[in-house]
Amino acid sequence: MRFIFKEDTYSKNRGKYSRIIHIYCRKCKSDIGYYQKDGGSKKYMGQLRRLYIDRFTVGVSKNISKGKNLVCSKCKEVLGTRINYSQEDRPAFRLFVGAVKDKIIQVKENK
């Protein structure tokens, strides 16, 4: 599967690398979705603390994107809670520590 990277001020502000990562529930291993993580260095992605709603590429249902919490659709574990990242006025989920696992699928070097 190939993904189209979003390029905008958010990705530009975060530097040279963007990654598509596969996010899944740590507890039951169900898919949560594919997500574009902007920033980090070539070798180190940086910790996932927030998932911005606008960075989900596929796999996130409308219910999840509108919900108050990020909930695993299979085991119903609450993975994160909805916030508005005030520095950018940008809706996101703040992840609970250790709630999700992630796997890098694709890396792009930004021009």
Cβ-based nearer residue to Zn ion, 7 or 31? 31
Residue 76 sits at φ, ψ, to 5 deg, of: 70, 15
75 touches Zn ion by CB under 5 A: yes
Cβ-based nearer residue to Zn ion, 79 or 92? 79
Cβ-based nearer residue to Zn ion, 28 or 104? 28
69 touches Zn ion by CB under 5 A: no
95 touches Zn ion by CB under 5 A: no
Q: Whose CA is closest to 36, among 24, 53, 49?
A: 53
Considering only the stretches 36-44, 45-53, 77-85, 100-108, report the one whose residues sit in contact with Zn ion under the rule CB under 5 A.
77-85
Give me 69's structure tokens: 């919490």
CB of 95 to Zn ion, least distance (A): 14
Sign of CA dihedral 101, 105, 109, 111: negative
Position 95, amino acid = L
70 touches Zn ion by CB under 5 A: no
Residues with Cβ within 8 Å of 4's Cβ and at least 6 positions away in sequence, in order, are 57
71 touches Zn ion by CB under 5 A: no
